[in-house]
Structure 1
Amino acid sequence: MTKTVTEIQNIVNQLAEKINAPSYLLPTFSSPIGDATPNIEVDNLGLYNYVISERGNEYERKLTSDLNDLLYWIFASVTFSMACDYELKNRIEEKDCRRIMFEKQEELLGILNEDWKEKEIKEHQNILNNNPFDDLAGLRATYCGELRTKGISESEIDKLAFEKYPE
């Protein structure tokens, strides 16, 4: 049986409480703000809609009849934001920031649902297959900034930065 928007909102609030998710990270329910905050709708066919729009333009709409899918979409987004905040407060310069972010997001999702954690681990693996960890990227970027202030050309900056901090 399809849940109402109010029932979904209650479930989301209960889950959010388990991980101390700030309310500003939660979606809206049937009243989009239009600032790219996800909005949750239930359509006339009983499908759950996860909608992202900004300034009247819809950028994403995912549809499902499975409440579990909808909840995963919501909390994948919420926990990603929480993990980014956590990484920023616990940054390690010589570590790819995604190492900390991915681990934290997986931990938070695991508190809510072990299947969601496993699904996110697979998502992270797909990302890393195409874009492996680069633990020196932050140091390289800082060094590039220092070289730019000295008026060095971009091609020379890249060469020097990768010599000092190789991939």
Structure 2
Amino acid sequence: MNAELRQLQQQVETLAKRIAPIAWRPTYGYSDDGALPHLEVNSNGMHYVVVERGQEQLRRTTQDADELLYWVFASITFSMASSYEVRHRVPNQDFRRLLFAKQAELLHRLNPAWEARRQQELSDILLEAPFSDTE
């Protein structure tokens, strides 16, 4: 593992401790497959990669460590918020209300700028697909 990748790993692990011990952390420099993200660093930049059943499904590349960390924690907090929502579902309420709120709370604990960024992304989603609570 190169020094840059080791530094990213330390940053991810340090931030992850703020929100809880989690199973959704990426691997570093290799894929466990199964759609668990992994991180790579090479001369082309820092990469967020998802491999499932031996096929690369997603590769995002950046030169900005904060951008890469946002991608990592947007994914992790979404998984955590999804799990939370299932356990705390409110009848007749669009499940996304609780999911989005929990993800925002978790991101805020890591970096308020990440929460603001995700809130904007969610606002864009809700313009296309508004909440739909039932009675």
TM-score when normalising by structure 1: 0.77
- Name whichever structure is richer in strand by fraction: 2
Greater relative contact order (CA < 8 Å, ≥ 6 in sequence): 2
- Secondary structure (helix, strand or coil) at the match of 1:25 reads coil
The letter of the residue matching 2:60 is: K
Measure the CA separation in 1 of the matches of 2:59 and 2:74. Answer: 15
Task: List aligned pairs for 1:52-67, cutoff 5 A.
Answer: 52-67=50-65
- Unaligned runs of at least 5 residues, structure 1: 137-164
Measure the CA separation in 1 of the matches of 2:112 and 2:120. Answer: 13
Report if aligned partners of 1:37, 1:52 keep a CA contact under 8 Å in 2: yes
Aligned position for 1:97: 95
* Structure 1 position 110, deviation (Å): 0.5
In structure 2, relative to structure 1, the CA distance for the partners of 1:114 and 1:87 (3 Å cut) is same
Aligned position for 1:26: 25
Aligned position for 2:131: 133
* Structure 1 position 44, deviation (Å): 2.2
Measure the CA separation in 2 of the matches of 1:108 and 1:33. Answer: 25
The letter of the residue matching 2:76 is: V
Aligned position for 1:112: 110
Runs of 4+ in 1 over 4 A off after TM superposition: none
Structure with the greater alpha carbon radius of gyration: 1
The letter of the residue matching 1:51 is: V
In structure 2, relative to structure 1, the CA distance for the partners of 1:20 and 1:58 (3 Å cut) is same
Measure the CA separation in 1 of the matches of 2:61 and 2:21. Answer: 24
Deviation per CA, 1:85-110, whole angstroms, max 9, x where unpaired? 11111110111010000001001001
* Structure 1 position 21, deviation (Å): 4.1
Between the two proteins, what is the percent identity of the paired residues?
Answer: 40
The letter of the residue matching 2:10 is: N
- Name whichever structure is richer in helix by fraction: 1
| C-alpha RMSD over aligned residues | 1.4
TM-score when normalising by structure 2: 0.95
